[in-house]
Amino acid sequence: MLRKLILLAVVGAVIGLAVFWVVTIPATVPASALAPRTPDLVNGKELFFAGGCAACHAVQTKEADKFDPTRLAGGLGLKSPFGTFYVPNISPDPNDGIGRWSEVEFATAMLKGTSPAGSHYYPAFPFASYQRMKLDDVRDIFAFIKTLPPVQGRVRDHDLPFPFNIRRTLGGWKFLFLDGKPFVPDPAQSAEWNRGAYLINGPGHCAECHSPRNLLGGIVSSQRLAGGPNPEGEGWVPNITQKGLKDWSVKDIEYLLETGQTPDGDSVGGSMTAVIRNTSNLTPQDRTAMATYLKSLPAVDGPTRPPKKP
């Protein structure tokens, strides 16, 4: 009897491992999905800034006037409950950046969170939002990045404790939190609203910071965009549904995205400063679209903010 139980346990373990292995296979974009086309560099530049690429990947500097969004050498450390992630070099440098990547490898990274080596990326890279993007928009971003200067410098590995340093387990995270569905316009809404919804939920990846997360690091869908603890461990990210923006007008939100100034005369700080560096480069039409969409969101109660320390 004991021998049978042991045998069943071994068989169950083997089956479980086989299921885990299949479920966690890194997904890719097939080369056949990329039909021949001429890239739109103007669109690529717009989506580059909408996607906040420079906010994390550009060389960091404390002097705002010396910040160069075209030098994408990475190196920024992003703290999280799971360890510290270091943003990679995505400049066109062939050795330290993505200069040798193919177009399909870039699309696979953005839409599937899979590296050219076939391993999972950590969701500190917001592919959970980028998966909503149009494939042609992703291709245009890649074409635009290739026009930027190559910058040397290889970024150090992430600093993660066991078991978070085992990338294969990220396949399980993707199974739970990555649905692979692109953005679908709402025919009941205007073109402007749909453009804003696309920018906020896709390239803009606003929910990645402005939403609370569960113990596995997945966004709490019922409190999407309702604010919560700063993922980097210090401070509080505001609620940007109508619970937090009820007294703001569309023009107020537009102005914030352009200048970083709030209606009461204050200015944004922390990581939002880098976000404004990007949104200030967008067309006025896209900032209006984003503001229109945000203003339309119903009020959602977020986590209770702890009292400020005296």
pLDDT tens series, the chain, 310 aa: 666 666 666 666 666 555 555 666 777 888 898 899 999 999 999 999 999 888 888 887 666 556 778 888 887 888 888 888 888 888 999 998 899 999 999 999 999 999 999 899 988 889 999 999 999 999 999 999 999 999 988 888 888 888 777 788 888 888 888 888 899 999 999 999 999 999 999 999 998 888 988 888 888 889 898 888 887 667 788 888 999 899 899 999 999 999 888 888 778 877 788 888 889 889 999 999 999 999 999 988 878 877 766 5
pTM of the full predicted structure? Answer: 0.88
Domain boundaries, given as residue ranges, for the chain: 29-182, 191-304
**3-state DSSP assignment of residue 30:** coil
- Can you give the pLDDT at residue 132? 94
Phi, psi (deg, nearest 5) at residue 135:
-60, -40
Assigned token pair, 141: 């971003």
The correct CATH number of 191-304 out of 2.60.120, 1.10.760, 1.20.120, 1.10.520 is 1.10.760
Phi, psi (deg, nearest 5) at residue 114:
-120, 135
Question: Cα(125)–Cα(81) distance, rounded to whole angstroms?
Answer: 15
Asked if 73 and 89 count as a contact pair (C-beta separation under 8 A), the reply is yes
Question: Cα(167)–Cα(69) distance, rounded to whole angstroms?
Answer: 30
